[in-house]
Amino acid sequence: MSIYDTLNEQQKQGVFTTEGPVLLLAGAGSGKTRVLTHRIAYLIEEMGINPYQIMAITFTNKAAGEMKERVESLVGFADSAWITTFHSTCVRILRRYIDRIGYDTNFVIYDADDQKSVIKDICKRLNVDTKVLKERTVLSAISSAKDELISPNEYSLSAAGDYHKQKIAALYKEYQQTLKKNNAVDFDDLIMKTVELFKDCPDVLQSYQNRFRYIMVDEYQDTNSAQFELIRLLAGDRHNLCVVGDDDQSIYKFRGANIRNILDFEKYYPEAAVIRLEQNYRSTQNVLDAANAVIRNNIGRKEKSLWTDQGAGERIHFRQFDNAYEEAEFVADDVARKKRNGSYQYKDCAVLYRTNAQARLLEERFIVEGIPYDVVGGVNFYSRKEIKDLLAYLKTIDNGRDDLSVKRIINIPKRGIGAATIAEVQDYADEKGISFYDALKQADEISTIGRSGAKLKPFVDMIKVFRSKLQVYTLTDLIKDIIETTGYVRDLEADSEEEAQTRIENIDELVSKVASYEETHDEPSLSEFLEEVALVADIDGVDEDDDRVLLMTLHSAKGLEFSQVYLTGMEDGLFPSYMSIVADGDAEIEEERRLAYVGITRAKKELTICCAKMRMIRGETQYNAVSRFVKEIPPELLDNRMPKPAYRDDDLLQPSRTKPAAVLTKKRTAAENKPYIASAGTKMGISSFGSLGITKGGNAAGKPDYDAGDRVSHIKYGEGTVLAMEPGPRDYKVTVDFDEAGQKIMYAGFAKLKKL
Ligand SMILES: Nc1ncnc2c1ncn2[C@@H]1O[C@H](COP(=O)(O)OP(=O)(O)OP(=O)(O)O)[C@@H](O)[C@H]1O
Ligand SMILES: [Mg+2]
């Protein structure tokens, strides 16, 4: 039996139609990604195509890695095929040829933080009041323009007569110039500059067209205009382009995804073979019926219906709670129960939510119950100060042209170089048209800085020494040397704050990352390492082998599947979002509904939908009705009846008139609102590359005022007796025997026990 015998007829058609354009349009879990992996295998094994001539593109590194793994398990070795993300594809091309459009091939990639500093700077220089025109607004306008391949000049032309747009046009222009001067590109540039390169240099385009005879794109519904242009150019006259997607899962309109790309594919390629898949291999019939019932409410979609032969399965669990604390508690308890039963592992469970902010309560509960988890997204490891500082050293050593990095570290550790001196150096650099670092090297020539110039030389010398060491050192030696020479960790060790310890752990993690990078690459280089770091998407921090529950937004869950899925916060005003409800027209609600469809269809075995009547959003208590998307699910598919509305309609979304329980109305104190880090006792924290925004919590202010033997009361469990108090690494662990609820172990910081 061959591997292709496991495919159904339509899937086979997708695999065997290798020549000409193919559009595979099918619902969630119908095996689209599987068709792509088998198609690549077929090209290599049966048609004898050199893997070198194959390109398969998807959206996240995780998805690309999985695809590559699956292909390799089918055919053995396919290293020379490009199975990767849009961004990595473009980086590879630009590293080779970007000098043809006026950049250096060792360019740096700016992240969101870098972009923000650049814009801030420019606004200051151009006297733009960022209270009126927010940096975020400017950056998102620039990003949208790039998604549509609109250059600063074109933007400026289209802005005629519109004051606001003209301002943005001026900032966009300046922003591009600054990036170019710093030999930097942002994420959107990766695509746009590659398209520019292909258009300006037909010979470069032709060499890639000759190489890639077969091009495939997964999650095609989320491509934007720039990405479509890129693959259209690559496919050239050969038209060997196979795209797979699901218009019902298009959820990135806000990032410029153009659903027309999928709806109009047949217009661009009239000869395209169009294939549809309707059998779902992932979920139970109940889950599919729910998904179908919800998405049916969108108008203007291509009608399709999913079915499975796996049977109805369990009904969908539906629970409404009084408040978000109870919701979190239920989810944690339910996960713990499944693990205890031995029916599932933690990693079979995923908890999904609409906004990142919802993670906090869930995390707190997981910590209290000692359940290991990872939060996908949140504060990324690479956004931490200590990591950014050390990376700035590496970037400066690699490429002194990135002004932002040089300025970041010029005074880390403190070298007594003042803001005035830095400004003088910058002026000199501007005047001469050179980089900030090059200006530092010529500090002797800058008459205005006087004696402070002497402080600059040791810095430049240090970078020079690092550069020369790079010739003989390994990267691991280099980073250790930087830490030693700058005294970075020594300073932290002298710092008694608990945060300092966490920072040291993060630095250790970075050193391990450098070492593992070196071990796994034949020809490791500093530039390549920095590039990998720049491209890590949030999801990539998740370590497959670890048994942890995954917490993530619905957006991050695209393309993934889990046995147990919890959809939390299913409330009107949260999901769909308040903004989408009040927006004009149905477009926003429809996008939210597609997101609901994505969420529901992640479930393989069981789907649990939760919501709360009351929840704190940005410090305000809100009363929300059950999400309209839940109401769109036929009641017979749910294991619980829809509750009667608890409040009159006009109470919904408004601050309450009824007085809620004390714990909920209490505004959080600043300390409670601080980001937090998982306690070491629960085996979390930064464990893997690119990981988790695990934030820090349960930070005990000191020993609580009760002790073993004391009577205490808990907001939910009532009264009980403290059996034991155990100091943990960050907080006291308290064991209480509650009169009603029995014995519980909790962290003092979270339990908020009152001594009686
Ligand atoms: N013919 C088949 N026989 C057995 N299992 C299959 C078959 N086709 C797909 N599957 C399985 O069904 C699940 C869903 O497949 P896949 O992830 O390829 O779907 P998809 O259409 O890409 O979903 P999504 O839209 O969510 O990205 C996977 O576990 C896959 O291995
Ligand atoms: Mg898929």
- The DSSP string of 338-406 is HHHHTS--GGGEEEEESSGGGHHHHHHHHHHTT--EEESSSS-GGGSHHHHHHHHHHHHHH-TT-HHHH
Dist. CA 268 → ligand 1 center (Å)? 28
pLDDT at 211: 96
Answer yes or no: is the C-beta of 55 below 6 A from any ligand 1 atom: no
Name the residue at shortest CA distance from atom 13 of ligand 1: 282
| CA–CA dist 74, 2 (Å, integer) | 10
Residue of 33, 85, 89, 178 with catalytic role: 33
- How far apart (Å, rounded) are the C-alpha atoms in residues 651 and 634? 26
- How far, in Å, CA of 242 to CA of 272, rounded? 9
Of 122, 125, 239, nearest in space to 175 by CA = 122
Contact 343, 376 (CB under 8 A): no
Residue 576 CA to residue 628 CA, distance in Å, equals 8
Residues of the chain with pLDDT under 50: 645-701
Instruction: Say yes or no: CB of residue 599 within 6 Å of ligand 1.
Output: no
Give pLDDT, residue 543: 56
Place of tokens 């034949």: 522
Q: What span, in angstroms and rounded, lies between the C-alpha atoms of 450 and 461?
A: 19
Q: Write down the pLDDT at residue 721.
A: 92
- CB of 25 sitting under 6 A from ligand 1: no
* Helix 9-16 with 32-45: angle, nearest 10 deg: 50
Is 602 part of the annotated catalytic residue set? yes
- pLDDT, one tens digit per residue, over 304-318 is 778 899 999 999 999
User: Can you read off the two tokens belonging to residue 264?
Assistant: 């109009």
218 in catalytic set: yes
Say how far apart CA 423 and CA 434 lie, in whole Å. Answer: 14
**What per-residue confidence (pLDDT) applies to 501?**
76
Provide, rounded to the nearest whole percent, the portion of the chain with pLDDT above 90: 52
32 is catalytic: yes
Q: Among 7, 23, 34, 560, name the best residue to mutate to test ligand 1's pocket (greatest count of ligand atoms within 8 A of Cβ).
A: 34
Taken in order 607, 613, 619, 620, the sign of the CA dihedral is: positive
The model's pTM: 0.74
* Residue identifier of the C-alpha nearest atom 15 of ligand 1: 31
249 as an active site residue: the answer is yes
> Which pLDDT score is estimated for 699?
34
For residue 257, the CA-to-ligand 2 centroid distance in Å is 17
d(CA 446, CA 384): 34
Centroid of ligand 2 to alpha carbon of 558 (angstroms): 8
Task: Give the active site residue among 347, 401, 602, 613.
Answer: 602
Which residues are annotated binding-site positions for ATP?
A: 26-33
- What is residue 534's predicted lDDT score, i.e. its pLDDT? 79
Tokens of 662: 């004390």
In short, whether 31's Cβ falls inside 6 Å of ligand 1 is yes
- The helix or strand, by DSSP H or E, that contains position 96, with its residue range, turns out to be helix 86-97
Strand order across the 82-85 sheet: 82-85, 54-58, 214-217, 241-245, 22-26, 273-277
What's the token pair of residue 207?
């060499």
Does ligand 1 lie within 6 Å of residue 34's CB atom?
A: yes
Do the Cβ atoms of 301 and 49 come closer than 8 Å? Answer: no
Count each helix (H run) and each strand (E run) in the chain, helices first. 31, 20
Ligand 1 pocket: which of 30, 217, 282, 284 to mutate (most atoms <8 Å of CB)? 282
Q: Is 246 in the pocket of ligand 1 (CB under 6 A)?
A: yes
Instruction: Tell me the C-alpha to C-alpha distance, in Å, between residue 288 and each of 10, 312, 568, 590.
Output: 20, 9, 19, 19
Q: From atom 18 of ligand 1, which residue's Cα is the shortest distance away?
A: 31
Residues annotated within a binding site: 26-33
- Residues 21 and 394: their CA atoms lie apart, in Å, by 44
| Residue 489 to residue 477: CA distance in whole angstroms | 15
pLDDT of res. 664: 32
Which position among 219, 374, 386, 424 bears the catalytic label?
219
Condensed to tens digits (0 to 9), the pLDDT of residues 579-593 reads 888 887 888 999 999
Measure the CA–CA gap between 70 and 569, rounded to whole angstroms.
34
**Quick one: which of 285, 223, 244, 290 has its CA closest to 24?**
244
Ligand lying closest to the C-alpha of residue 37: 1
* 665 touches ligand 1 (CB under 6 Å): no
ipTM of the predicted assembly exceeds 0.90: yes
Please give the C-alpha separations between residue 214 and each of 208, 221, 401, 671, 721, in angstroms, as whole numbers.
11, 19, 37, 56, 69
559 C-beta closer than 6 A to ligand 1: yes
Q: What is the CA(30)–ligand 2 centre distance, in A?
A: 8
CA distances from 89 to 86, 135, 243, 474, 599 (A): 5, 29, 16, 27, 28
Query: Ligand 1 atom 14: the closest Cα is on which residue?
Result: 29
How far apart (Å, rounded) are the C-alpha atoms in residues 318 and 404?
50
Catalytic hit among 188, 218, 531, 731: 218
Task: Decide: residue 641, CB within 10 A, 0-12 exposed, 13-18 middle, 19+ buried.
Answer: exposed
- Helix or strand run (H / E) with residue 319: strand 317-323
Distant-in-sequence, close-in-space partners of 129: CB < 8 Å, separation ≥ 6: 123
Largest alpha-carbon pair distance within the chain? 81
In the prediction, which pLDDT does 250 show?
87
Distance CA 296, CA 304 (A): 9
What are the backbone angles phi and psi of residue 105, rounded to the nearest 5°?
Answer: -70, -10
DSSP character for 569?
-
pLDDT of residue 260: 79
Residue of 116, 114, 62 lying closest to 84 (CA atoms): 62
Q: Which two tokens stand for residue 213?
A: 């005879």
**CA-closest residue to ligand 1 atom 16:** 31
Contacts of 338 (CB under 8 A, 6+ apart): 344, 348, 349, 564
User: How remote is the CA of residue 244 from the centroid of ligand 2, in Å?
Assistant: 8
Interval between CA 602 and ligand 1 midpoint (Å): 11
**Whose CA is closest to 171, among 185, 189, 159?**
159
Compute the distance from residue 657 Cα to the ligand 2 centre, in Å.
46
